[in-house]
Structure 1
Amino acid sequence: MSTGLSDALRILIQWQCTPNQALAILKLDPDQPFPEVLSDEQCERVTFVLNIHSDLGTVFDDPEDVYGYMSRPHDDPYYEGKSPLELISTGDVTLFERVCWHIDSMRVL
């Protein structure tokens, strides 16, 4: 298992992600959740998780915020009352990209 995948899975656990959510987020096969080689899309998804985590660490000082942000529903119209984790758990890579972009933009506010 790649280091990036291991790190992404560790982060997803800290975001209070369920196993089924993790499979959808990283586009992993339930019959082989730890592939030796990741597809391009899986690598992209791992990168999104790592980048979101890094950005949250830049935006927030409190570890509860760094790890809790993704699982908390937000009133922000961008999230429509849902948590970012709910959105990225749909497996839709476009939503995943949008959440990543939105969190990245928080760094400059």
Structure 2
Amino acid sequence: MIEYLKSIGGLDDIVSENKMSLDLIIPAVRNDLIAVRNFSLIKAYKVQVPIYGIQATEDYGVDVRDIQKWALLTDKKFKLVQFSGNHFYMLDQWKKLADYLQSLCKIQIE
């Protein structure tokens, strides 16, 4: 698990050598991976709200076609937006991501 997280840019050497940090991170990541593995579109119900997919352009572990499948889960709008970077792009682009999310909130209010 640690090597996998390092390979996708999500774990630096300082964190990977800190047992307390790993005790917090590893269970959360493991549960996320289990949830992704067990998710099934067959059992899913459509929601009545728009879905906005976000992907990193250099996240080679996530296929854009898998993200586009989220469009099947809504009767409303689906939009895919890509940010440059790897799986953890938000660490470097948190301001750009926050601005985008804030713009979505404004759209929904207006």
User: What TM-score, normalized to structure 1?
Assistant: 0.35
Please say which structure displays the higher CA radius of gyration.
2
More strand by share: 2
User: What TM-score, normalized to structure 2?
Assistant: 0.35
More helix by share: 1
